Amino acid sequence: QVQLVESGGGLVQPGGSLRLSCTASGSIYNLNAMGWYRQVPGQERELVAVITSNGRTNYADSAKGRFTISRDNAKNTVYLQMNSLKPEDTAVYYCNAEVIQDVIMYDYWGQGTQVTVSS
């Protein structure tokens, strides 16, 4: 009922920037927190940044000072501005959204977008 579509990934050189976007569509009654996670093959998926419906944000230590998460509630879209990218930022980035449908909380994931930082 809810789909998440990410965009904005790609190949960049160290020190470069990317802006990821994720738009939720479908049966959205109450879009709660949205966030970005990333995963490297063989490793666990880790939180990069999260933003609540009220705009409260939280970042992984590795992202602080370099990444900025924001959202446009009217568009059901969350963004991740990534600056000063490092090779260790290379991963598949997944959009996550918590959606309250009636009184039930659902957790949705996008298909992921590849971010590769390499010279």
pLDDT in tens, 2-59: 999 999 999 999 999 999 999 999 887 789 999 999 999 999 999 999 999 999 999 9
Per-residue pLDDT tens digits for 59-115: 999 999 999 999 999 999 999 999 999 999 999 999 999 998 888 899 999 999 999
Q: Pseudo-torsion of CA 112, 45, 34, 96, nearest 10°? A: 40
In this prediction, residue 29 carries a pLDDT of 75
Best CA proximity match to 47, nearest among 90, 7, 9, 96: 96
pLDDT of residue 32: 92
Rounded distance between C-alpha atoms, residue 20 and residue 98, angstroms: 18
Tell me: pLDDT of 1 over 90: no
pLDDT value, residue 44 = 97
DSSP, residue by residue, 28-60: -S-EEEEEEEEE-TTS--EEEEEE-TT--EEE-
